């Protein structure tokens, strides 16, 4: 039996893949996006090309911070719309507050008024800041964000807890750890490094290369989101730390399960492309954390989540996609 789900940020990298996955399993999907100029609208329109032709997909251009949401008949809201980017948030923190905090509150409020009790909220590993011991556990305080973007995502989680407590909404706050794969945003590291190396341009490496990230391939991320949708339907009562069902907001890490050094990542991309890498070394960037590492025990327990795509396989898939869209001229 099909369901109708609303996906905000549907034209983005994760959002467009998620809409496709929901349609593939038989759901009806309503997607919204405001085509924020953070990156080219044409790329987002390309993400929507196949979706727009699907009979069970409907799209509405809308800004969650300002416009009403199409919630008629919707049983679950998956809120992915956000202004992205750690470094750009240092330059314009007010716009991040508007999009990521005000926008998220408006989504929760619209959901409450429509009588929808199930929400999946796309949060970020950046909420852990630079002072959380690795691996990052959801029980860590997460009260030391080091960028406006990270603070805006943590604020969204806290609003989820408030709405869950007051109105019995069940919210899965998914803390995504550096998701990558085909259609990844062009400003993100893996896409940017691949583009530079393929063109024979030098790669800017900030720091000494020893910083580490927990990279999550897009199909693993989707597994987590789809499982979280089902999690919101369970009965029971969610406690402060997680588990149970009914009303409650719970943070859950969605990661790749391994830490990858920056210098290894760059070398791996170059090797996969068959290119020599030229590196320009620069100081660490403000707002960047030295390490991300997901503790996945809660994800496994609550969502039966187990990442399956390691970094070498994931980079092969990404480079193959990159070469295909560039006509293998790289």
Q: pLDDT (tens digit, 9 = 90+) per residue, 183-214? A: 999 999 999 999 999 999 999 999 999 999 99
Q: pLDDT (tens digit, 9 = 90+) per residue, 277-306? A: 999 999 988 878 899 999 999 999 999 999
CATH H superfamily, domain 4-177+216-257+293-306 = NAD(P)-binding Rossmann-like Domain (3.40.50.720)
DSSP classification of residue 136: B
Residue 246 predicted with pLDDT over 70? no
DSSP classification of residue 199: T
The pTM (predicted TM-score) of the whole model is 0.94
Residue 239: pLDDT band with limits 50, 70, 90 = very low
Q: How many CA atoms lie within 13 A of 151 on its CB side?
A: 15
322 in catalytic set: no
DSSP classification of residue 100: I
Cβ atoms 294, 260 nearer than 8 A: no
Residue 88 predicted with pLDDT over 80? yes
Task: Choose, from 128, 149, 180, 322, the residue flagged as catalytic.
Answer: 149
* Integer Cα distance of 255 and 250 in angstroms: 16
């Amino acid at each position: 039996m099909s369901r109708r789900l609303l996906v905000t940020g549907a034209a983005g990298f994760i959002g467009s893949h998620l809409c496709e996955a929901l349609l593939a399993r038989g759901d009806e999907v309503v997607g919204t996006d405001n085509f924020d100029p953070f990156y080219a609208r044409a790329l987002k329109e390309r993400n929507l090309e196949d979706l727009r032709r699907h009979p069970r997909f409907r799209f509405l251009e809308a800004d969650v911070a300002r416009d009403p949401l199409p919630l008629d008949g919707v049983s679950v809201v998956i809120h992915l719309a956000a202004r992205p980017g750690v470094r750009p948030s240092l330059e314009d923190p007010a716009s991040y507050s508007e999009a990521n905090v005000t926008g998220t509150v408006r989504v929760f409020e619209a959901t409450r008024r429509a009588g929808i009790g199930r929400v999946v909220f796309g949060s970020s590993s950046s909420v852990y800041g630079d002072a959380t011991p690795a691996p990052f556990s959801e029980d860590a305080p997460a009260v030391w964000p080091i960028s406006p973007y990270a603070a805006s995502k943590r604020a969204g989680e806290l609003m989820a807890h408030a709405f869950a407590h007051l109105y019995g909404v069940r919210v899965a706050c998914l803390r995504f750890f550096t998701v990558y794969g085909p259609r990844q945003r062009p400003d993100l590291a893996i896409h940017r490094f691949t583009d530079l190396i393929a063109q024979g341009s030098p790669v800017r490496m900030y720091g000494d290369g020893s910083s580490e990230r927990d990279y999550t391939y897009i199909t693993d991320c989707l597994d987590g989101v789809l499982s979280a949708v089902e999690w919101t339907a369970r009965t029971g009562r969610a406690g402060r730390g997680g588990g149970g069902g009914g009303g409650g907001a719970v943070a859950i890490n969605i990661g790749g399960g391994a830490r990858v050094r920056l210098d290894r990542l760059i070398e791996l991309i170059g090797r996969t492309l068959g290119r020599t890498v030229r590196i320009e070394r620069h100081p660490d960037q403000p707002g960047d954390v030295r390490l991300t590492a997901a503790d996945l025990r809660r994800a496994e327990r609550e969502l039966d989540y187990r990442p399956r795509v390691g970094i070498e396989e994931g980079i092969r898939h990404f480079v193959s996609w990159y070469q295909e869209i560039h006509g293998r001229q790289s």
